[in-house]
Amino acid sequence: MKVFHNIIEARNIPNAVVTIGTFDGVHLGHQAIFNKMKSLAQIIGGQTVVVTFSPHPRQVLNIDSSNLRFINTPEEKLRKFEEFGIDNVLIINFTKEFSRTPSETFIKDYIIDNINPAYIVVGYDHHFGKNRMGDFSLLSDLKRKYNFKVERVAAQDVEHIAISSTKIRNALAVGNVKSANRLLGYAYSVTAEVVRGNEIGRTIGFPTANLELPKEYMLFNQGGVYACLVDYKGLTYKAMANIGHRPTIGDRAEGDMLIEVNLFDFDGDLYGQQIRVRFIDRIRDEVKFDGLQALKAQLEQDREKVKEILK
């Protein structure tokens, strides 16, 4: 997959099949768009192109910026694009000046004059341009003027639940990873560097890899224990994770959330290393115990339950 940060570099893509958006989560609805693009590209001998933006428009426009949360980091999003078979990604620098670009001007100056698409494929509710005035209806009007075809992909649902990034974020906020994963079409994950902790877990036989995420990527609002898979240096380990503020230890303020991951069958030093944690299921709430021995006894039960889930 080729990644372009300069729109001029995207000019020589043959028979481009283009979509436009932020694609937070790269969920099943987004994947349906990608599948349509790949099908069209195969028919016309072309290549797929995702046009996306950085920073996220809501960050630049300060829309509820204090509460902004994202499912994917930019790096994770690019990995998903590649995993789902996208050929090219164009990342447009989103600025306040760019946000004032009228919808038709954006299509002509950025998409038509540079990429010259054979097709533009959008989701059922896609909007673009200044004040989000552009939509499928405008694209349908412009296709004859600028000689491209347009396709709209219908809303996708899972078990009669319409898929959206907002619903996925809401599910993760309450720890419902199974529901989030069904809408994503894959296990929700975080990738971060392991930081040094107080090593109390090691003293009771449950050493943990501690992860602190930037606020905008910490989607869990309440503590809990989870069955997980951890990817590290090409290998996958079964694991359990505690997310919360460690009430038994009492060393973190309410709301100051930490991810602690205990890898099964792993013996090594992870400090300073990047690991990816994939969340499979939630097994219980975070609880305050009467001392470390009570905590250890519960963790032993948790470990057996996680092993059964991951069997």
- For residues 221 and 32, give the distance between their C-alpha atoms in angstroms, rounded to a whole number: 29
Say if residues 87 and 1 touch (Cβ distance below 8 Å): yes
SS3 content of the chain, % helix, strand, coil (to 5): 35, 25, 35
Map out the domains of the chain with their CATH numbers. 2-158 (3.40.50.620), 187-309 (2.40.30.30)
Full-prediction pTM beyond 0.75?
Answer: yes
Q: Which residues of the chain are under the pLDDT cut of 70?
A: 64-65, 198-205, 246-256
* Residues 278-309 pLDDT 10s: 999 999 998 877 778 888 888 899 999 999 99
Output the pLDDT for position 253: 46
Output the pLDDT for position 286: 86
Output the pLDDT for position 24: 96
